[in-house]
Amino acid sequence: MGKFTRFIILILLLIAVHPCFADDSAQLLGTWRLVSYQAEFQATGEREDAFGKNPTGYQIFTPEGRTMMMVAGEGRKTPTTDQDRANLWKSMIAFTGMYRVEGDKFTTKVDTALAPALVGTELVRFYRFDGDRLHIISAWMDAVLRPEKGKHRTLVTWERVK
């Protein structure tokens, strides 16, 4: 068998085998609708629905490497007082930034956010797929809305928008 024939066979084998080695990062691309958003507290293992039982939201991943995420808690109403407006801030998360994927995690370099403290930070998230569902778990972090509970992580489930 000549060198050229072996080369062609090698190329054909690589083309045939390549999908076995492909990572899941391309599956992130698209628009995802929020199914659930929970906080798990490190000290106790307790979980709670951080934005109620029926929050709403979307996360979008673009091929150019940008993600945008917005979550709003259930039962939000039009504010009539300054206190109402302050409470609405606590019932929502929104940010955008460039993301990069490494294995089963993606890291977002936040460039715009509802919470100014997030701007310039890197948010680390671990992900896995279950059919048309995307499960994302954050790294452990200080609980901003519930500081008395110590560190927490978020467990978020999304469903692909078709």
Is 24-160 a CATH 2.40.128.280 domain? yes
Angle at 14 between CA 102 and CA 6, to 5 degrees: 150
- CB of 61 closer than 8 Å to CB of 91: no
- CB of 75 closer than 8 Å to CB of 88: no
Report the alpha-carbon distance of residue 68 to residue 53 in Å, rounded. 22
- Quote the pLDDT of residue 143: 77
pLDDT in tens, 78-133: 999 999 999 898 899 999 999 999 999 999 999 999 999 999 999 999 999 999 99
Q: Name the residue type at position 111.
A: D
Report the alpha-carbon distance of residue 6 to residue 12 in Å, rounded. 10
| Neighbouring residues of 111: CB distance < 8 A, sequence distance ≥ 6 | 96, 97, 98, 119, 120
pTM of this prediction? 0.81
Report the alpha-carbon distance of residue 157 to residue 34 in Å, rounded. 6
Residue 17 has pLDDT above 70, yes or no: no
Is residue 161 within a helix (H) or strand (E), and if so which, with residue range?
A: none
Angle at 65 between CA 24 and CA 15, to 5 degrees: 40
Report domain extents, the chain.
24-160
pLDDT in tens, 52-77: 999 999 999 999 999 999 999 999 99
